């Protein structure tokens, strides 16, 4: 969620990238322009691309398509063409293309970014391409490092901002899962988690959202609850089983969220069946354990894939 601002001097307007590190914010000069309004337009487009992409990398299964589109933009900036053409994000086959971070990115890549970038000189285009590539490479690296349970080795890494509400557009602050996932994360575990802890919490949010979608695809009814954080799954039942079965998959023990719960704690799976209701504890599972959920709840859990986060390699144009 790197944000871009403009520092004005007597004759130039400097576009600056800023991101949070371990102990302080870090900034880098990207390029300078003579026209301050043009600099504002460029900074706005770059901010939208970055903040949308960082949010998507954590929470949206369409993130790989977005990263490919950013890669295509980078290739144009490094190429010889005078005009930067609109970039279309191929969204077929993804569930999360209707989420804000994806739809806003699709809009900026198709209109505002090409317009802002076409006015740049060749050297300016190359510096912006390098910045877009560096931001994308940090996203890919962040997902790999945090997914292994480790915080970034460098205090200057952009990975320190992963899974947070974005600073300018406020992506993730409100809304249902996965659109509001960053806000749900804070409400469930508090605001003081490190990057690896936030990524572990992200796994649990992603599993809850995935199970709800899979249950609906299976013909059941399902919903999410934010306090306590859980998936409420009502499985379809046969005529012989009139009462059906209700499954809760929870991130916390008890009836309320607790900021004292470890984000790495196993998820609690509980079944409720019959009248009077009989409660059965089905066990505790790691959110990444696809086989475990299929074994405990049934193969229907595989009808919608679990989004493990964007852990792709370098974006085209970064090699």
Residue 297's pLDDT is 97
Handedness of CA 59, 64, 65, 67 (dihedral sign): positive
Average pLDDT value over all residues in the chain: 94
Residue 244's pLDDT is 79
Q: Determine the length of the chain.
A: 319
The span from the CA of 252 to the CA of 263, in Å, is 9
pTM value is 0.94
Average pLDDT over residues 164-193: 96
The C-alpha angle with vertex 306 and arms to 301 and 307, in degrees rounded to 5, equals: 165
8-17, 84-93, 239-248: which range is least confident on average? 239-248
Residues with Cβ within 8 Å of residue 14, at least 6 apart in sequence: 6, 7, 8, 29, 30, 31, 32, 39
- Note whether 207 and 213 are within 8 A (CB): no
Tokens of 157: 């890494």
For the chain, the distance separating the N- and C-terminal CA atoms, rounded to the nearest angstrom, is 22
Residue 313's pLDDT is 40
Does position 255 have pLDDT exceeding 90, yes or no?
A: no
Residue 43's pLDDT is 98
- Note whether 24 and 46 are within 8 A (CB): no
**What DSSP character marks residue 279?**
E
Computed over its alpha carbons, how large is the radius of gyration of the chain? 22
Tokens of 205: 């949010």
Q: Who has greater pLDDT, 316 or 96?
A: 96
* Helix (H/G/I), strand (E/B), else coil: 231: strand
Does position 238 have pLDDT exceeding 70, yes or no?
A: no
* Helix (H/G/I), strand (E/B), else coil: 30: strand
Residue 314's pLDDT is 39
- Note whether 315 and 65 are within 8 A (CB): no
The C-alpha angle with vertex 96 and arms to 95 and 102, in degrees rounded to 5, equals: 145
What is the bridge-based pairing of β-strands 267-273 and 278-285? antiparallel
pLDDT tens profile 43-94: 999 999 999 999 999 999 999 999 999 999 999 999 999 999 999 999 999 9
Average pLDDT over residues 126-142: 97
Average pLDDT over residues 131-153: 95
Query: 162: how many CB neighbours lie within 10 A of its CB?
Result: 26
Residue 240's pLDDT is 60
pLDDT tens profile 268-316: 999 999 888 899 999 999 999 999 999 999 999 999 999 998 754 433 3
Does position 137 have pLDDT exceeding 60, yes or no?
A: yes
Q: What is the side-by-side order of every strand in the sheet holding 278-285?
A: 221-226, 229-235, 245-250, 267-273, 278-285
Nearest to 61 by CA among 318, 313, 311: 311
Residue 316's pLDDT is 37
Measured in whole angstroms, the distance separating CA 311 from the mean position of its chain's CA atoms is 11
Percent of the chain surpassing pLDDT 90: 90
Alpha helices in 176-272 (DSSP H): 181-189, 195-217
pLDDT tens profile 97-124: 999 999 999 999 999 999 999 999 999 9
User: Which H or E element spans position 18?
Assistant: strand 13-20
């Amino acid at each position: 969620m790197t944000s871009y601002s403009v520092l004005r001097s007597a004759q130039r307007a400097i576009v600056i990238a800023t991101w949070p590190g371990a102990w302080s914010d870090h900034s880098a000069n990207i390029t300078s322009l003579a026209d301050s309004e043009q600099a504002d337009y460029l900074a706005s487009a770059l901010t939208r691309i970055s903040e949308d992409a960082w949010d998507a990398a954590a929470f949206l299964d369409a993130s790989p398509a977005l990263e490919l589109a950013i890669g295509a933009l980078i290739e144009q900036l490094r190429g010889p063409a005078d005009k930067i053409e609109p970039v279309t994000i191929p969204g077929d086959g993804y569930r999360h293309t209707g989420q804000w971070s994806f739809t806003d990115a699709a809009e900026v890549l198709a209109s505002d970014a090409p317009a802002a970038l076409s006015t740049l000189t060749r050297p300016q285009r190359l510096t912006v391409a390098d910045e877009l590539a560096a931001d994308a490479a940090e996203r890919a690296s962040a997902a790999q490092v945090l997914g292994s349970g480790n915080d970034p080795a460098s205090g200057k890494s952009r990975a320190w901002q992963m899974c947070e509400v974005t600073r300018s557009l406020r992506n993730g602050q409100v809304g249902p899962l996965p659109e509001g996932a960053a806000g749900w994360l804070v409400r469930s575990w508090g605001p003081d988690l490190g990057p690896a802890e936030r990524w572990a919490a992200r796994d649990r949010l992603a599993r809850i959202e995935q199970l709800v979608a899979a249950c609906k695809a299976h013909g059941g009814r399902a919903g999410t609850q934010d306090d306590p954080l859980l998936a409420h799954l009502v499985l379809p039942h046969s005529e012989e089983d009139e009462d059906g079965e209700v499954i809760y998959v929870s991130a916390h023990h008890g009836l309320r969220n607790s900021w004292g719960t470890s984000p790495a704690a196993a998820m609690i799976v509980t079944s409720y069946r019959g009248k009077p209701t009989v409660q059965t504890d089905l066990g505790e599972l790691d959110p990444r354990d696809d086989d475990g959920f299929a074994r405990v709840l049934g193969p229907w859990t595989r009808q919608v894939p679990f989004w493990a986060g964007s852990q792709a390699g370098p974006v085209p144009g970064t090699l």
